[in-house]
A = this chain, B = another copy of it.
Amino acid sequence: MGGFQFQIDEPPTDVKAAEKRLDDMANLLAHYKQHMQEKSAHHLGYPINLEFDYAPLLQFQNLHLNNLGDPFVECNYGLHSREFEIAVLDWFARLWELPEDQYWGYVTNGGTEGNMYGLLVGRELFPEGIIYTSCDSHYSIFKAAKMFRVQCIKIDTSFSGEMDCADFRHKLLQNTRSPAIVNVNIGTTMKGAVDDLDEIIRILESCGFANRFYIHCDSALAGLMMPFIKQAPKVTFKKPIGSISISGHKLIGCPTPCGVVMARLMDVNHVMSTNIEYIASRDTTIAGSRNGHAPIFLWYALKRIGYKGLCTTVENCLKKAQYLALCLREKGVSVFLNALGSTVVFERPNDEMFVRKWQLACQGNIAHIVVMPSVSIERINLFVEEFTENRTAVLRDKGSSIPCVAGDIGQENCLCSLHDDRR
């Protein structure tokens, strides 16, 4: 679809020409929809659940909803969905074990805003604090540090993507004068790694940071999976964390980017709230004017699926991820899968057309597939088949050998000629 078709020209005054133009617009929109549906069919790279049907919510599209200001303060602007938003927040407060009268939160425009909010609460509580985060963190963490003018120290990771706790301790001890604002990854973007929250807390306390630290948990993806995996370590406000953020367009599959951020009411009241008379509300959020449709999507999805439904969904994702990893390994592809995740990391296809077709997210020598509910066994089989065929052809055409990815996913997972112990 070429760019020129999309150009916003002036509507003609001639009636026939105007009618023709309306037809052209309708055709363009229909064509675009078809194009997107085709792309959806080959979508694998990014963690988006395409399964949910939100048809019963179509009736709201034309409503001009705006949850401006604080979700808990009634506002003069009457067209909002605060009741839905608060129900969603209550649901998450129960999940994360924070009593209703002790939490504050809101539905964000996505994981980035949630991360910004959490780190901002941390900075306001500890204006002299330093942000610590692993080098595998989402780019929004580094962006927030820069925006907020807070020093940011990167911590090494192991090949699994998990924060290297020895390095964390080492770097903390170099900066004992400044409080610590720690971003803990509950599922890194590229490898789905989960940082060891309990160990991080122990280190902070043993290094003399008791009462001088703030922890934000970036749970964009795995925050909604971990609670439903029995063996997984618990992310809960019963531990000394300050905030959690998750994405709503990933596992829950909202059609627009959105998310939830939650913090302790005490902290928010202490450092974040400014009364704004104009909207008769409190300016506690980053966004100000806020999408009122997203909370209805979240509400509907959570109400339909429930904790039990999510539990089954997550189990299925993990099983399918294990299946995909197994299939790839059987075909001689180097592959890695974190024990509690559904993010399958493997050697990057050496063909950009193929990467684009399957919309694979790549980094250095590796690519990944995040197995979401909408990723079926059939699609996995089709992908594995196409990938291995394409790979064989590319290796043959380019006369290259299997690339070494030991540095990315560990020697034991690398099947290059040097590391493949099956030979």
Contact = CB atoms under 8 A, between A and B. Distances in A.
Central interface residue in A32, A289, A359, by most chain B CB within 10 Å: A289
B59 A278 contact: no
A33 interface: yes
B66 A307 contact: no
9 contacts: A6-B87, A11-B304, A25-B303, A36-B65, A45-B77, A76-B360, A109-B109, A257-B287, A280-B362
A7 interface: yes
B189 A7 contact: no
Query: Interface size for chain A: under 10, 10 to 19, 20 to 34, or 35 or more residues?
Result: 35 or more
Nearest to A293: B256
Central interface residue in A46, A53, A355, A362, by most chain B CB within 10 Å: A46
Nearest to A255: B64
B90 A288 contact: no
A57 B25 CA distance: 11
Contacts of A112: 286-289
B60 A33 contact: yes
A361 B62 contact: no
Given A54-B62, A56-B29, A139-B283, A3 B83 contact: yes
A105 to B, nearest CB: 14
The 8 A-B pairs of least Cβ separation, nearest first, read A112-B288, A257-B289, A39-B78, A6-B87, A149-B149, A110-B289, A8-B91, A10-B306
A239 interface: no
Interface stretch (A140-148, A167-175, A320-328, A393-401): A140-148
Interface in A141-163: 142-143, 147-149
Central interface residue in A55, A256, A291, A356, by most chain B CB within 10 Å: A256
A303 B1 CA distance: 18
Contacts of A228: none
A293 B359 contact: no
